Chain A
Amino acid sequence: MSGHMNLTLKVWRQKDAKSTGKLENYEAKDISPDMSFLEMIDVVNESLIKKGVEPIAFDHDCREGICGACSMYINGEAHGPKRAITTCQLHMRSFHDGETITIEPWRANAFPVIKDLVVDRSAFDRIIQAGGYVSVNTGVTIDANSIPIEKEIADDAMDAAACIGCGACVAACKNASATLFLSAKVSQLALLPQGQAERQIRVEAMIDQMEEEGFGNCTNTEACSAVCPKEIGQHHIARMNREFFGAKLSSPKK
């Protein structure tokens, strides 16, 4: 068919968390440039199933860039060559006929591979559990806009809240650091009135948890923001650092 492409895929295959994996070659034939990257893998998986080969396991859910599941390191970049998108929003028109595409899972000791391209990102959940929440006693529902918040502050908090927890920041960081992820939540809640009560214990607990999970130290390479599908900026990290210093100097915890 005209316009359709044939590609060679090099895909990380790993039976389970305990096995050692390796890159395997697969042919992706007759791929439409209008397909999404995940649809392309669906096509390859169909052909693998027909051949009796175990299909490639990969995480996916919404397929519209909002759940953050589709973790893939494509040709040496988190979510592939385009910016501000997730893998499910990447289309095959970003590749050319005959190209070899290498697909690897996120690499970080804090994100162990479960199978093929699927990694365990529960370290992120534990970081959020450590402090990325607000405690609200239930009662009468209050009107949504009863607390006035300045537009600029609301916008900045919203930008931080856009984080989908995909882990591309960790995957792209040379130090496998979760600092951008953490800072998005700390910054969002530090900006909003609802976040004030737990403001200091939050940042301390979350940073301690990041350390415990084995993520690296931020060295400000800024690769995280460059690959972030939601374009979460470096100023959130600066704000988190300020929050941390403030907490260390004055939080009730000894």
Chain B
Amino acid sequence: MSWFTKTVFSTSVGRKVIMALTGLFLCTFLAVHLAGNFQLLHQDGGEAFNLYTKFMTSNPLIKAISYVNFAFILAHVVWGAYITYKNKSARSVGYAVNNPGKTSSFSSRWMGVLGTMILIFLVIHLKDFKMAYLGITKDLPMVTYTLENDEKVIVKDMFSEVNLEFHEPIVVGIYVIGMIALGFHLFHGFQSAFQSLGLRHPKYTPIIKTVGFVFWGLIPFGFAIIPLIIFFR
């Protein structure tokens, strides 16, 4: 094995770098994804959202980033599973009485379970929307929009599909639960990633904590509120 693979596979600190870098990349992805999702709230019959969807699925740069994104999700899951397995096997006999709640946060102790909930959510999410958009599970109708420069574009009507799904109580429920899991995952995960990377200092750790609130609080809230607004609208 080269020094690099040895570092990221067989040392605890190296493994955590993979978790931290993939995790933080996924965080930036979340921010961009949410900004896009807000197009759903325009009361324009879906024009803004459909044009945005077209852009996100055809722009070569965005497409390239989306492949990186899938690879990173996979790496994050594989490394996360390996770390969790390693850590479980470091203590075969547990305590008869244990009080971990007095010394560590709930989120930090349940990262593996929270991550698995997010993974299940992701599978459902991709099946519902990505596969529908790609024409695998559904044949979406086309719509034509006239742009400001009088150019006409024909795009898939993803909005009506999302709109339909977000009127299903079960789908909305799964979304809200998925986002609660994400919030807890990032409550620990976001700031933990900086610690894993060795970035801790009285100068900037307070900023990491503040920005962390955006990621564990505001962003999951934003994702969850959109299906709720559409459902009750």
Q: Which residues in A have some Cβ–Cβ distance to B below 8 Å? A: 10, 12, 23, 73, 75-77, 102, 104, 107-110, 172, 174-177, 179, 207-208, 210-211, 214-223, 226-227, 234-235, 237-242, 244-245, 248, 254
Contact = CB atoms under 8 A, between A and B. Distances in A.
B27 to A, nearest CB: 16
Contacts, number: 131
Contact of A217 (B87, B93, B95, B195): B87
B200 A234 contact: yes
Given A76-B97, A214-B90, A248 B198 contact: no
Interface in B77-118: 83, 86-87, 89-100, 102-105, 108-109, 111
B196 interface: yes
A170 B44 CA distance: 58
Q: Is the interface of A mostly helix, strand, loop or mixed?
A: mixed
A77 B100 CA distance: 7
Interface stretch (B3-11, B59-67, B156-164, B216-224): B3-11
A25 B99 CA distance: 20
A156 B12 CA distance: 25
A110 to B, nearest CB: 7
A208 B98 CA distance: 29
Nearest to A243: B198
A175 B104 contact: no
Contact of B91 (A109, A179, A235, A248): A109
Shortest 4 CB-CB distances between A and B: which pairs? A76-B99, A216-B90, A242-B198, A175-B87
B76 interface: no
13 contacts: A76-B97, A77-B99, A77-B103, A107-B91, A215-B12, A218-B13, A219-B83, A219-B87, A221-B105, A221-B109, A234-B195, A238-B200, A240-B13
A215 B73 CA distance: 27
Given A211-B10, A226-B103, 4 more contacts: A176-B87, A177-B87, A219-B16, A241-B198
B102 to A, nearest CB: 6
A114 to B, nearest CB: 14
A210 B93 contact: no
Contact of B197 (A216, A240, A241): A241
Contacts of A237: 195
Interface of B: 3, 7, 10-17, 83, 86-87, 89-100, 102-105, 108-109, 111, 188, 192, 195-201
A218 B13 CA distance: 8
B130 to A, nearest CB: 30
Contact of B90 (A175, A234, A254): A175
Contacts of A76: 95, 97-100
Contact of A220 (B3, B93, B196): B196
A27 B87 CA distance: 36
B96 A102 contact: yes
Given A175-B87, A216-B91, A217-B87, A248 B3 contact: yes
A1 B142 CA distance: 89
A221 B112 CA distance: 13
Contact of B108 (A102, A108, A208, A222): A222
A243 to B, nearest CB: 8
B12 A177 contact: yes
Contacts of A221: 103-105, 108-109, 188
Nearest to A226: B103
Nearest to B99: A76
Nearest to A210: B12
A242 B90 CA distance: 25
A12 to B, nearest CB: 8
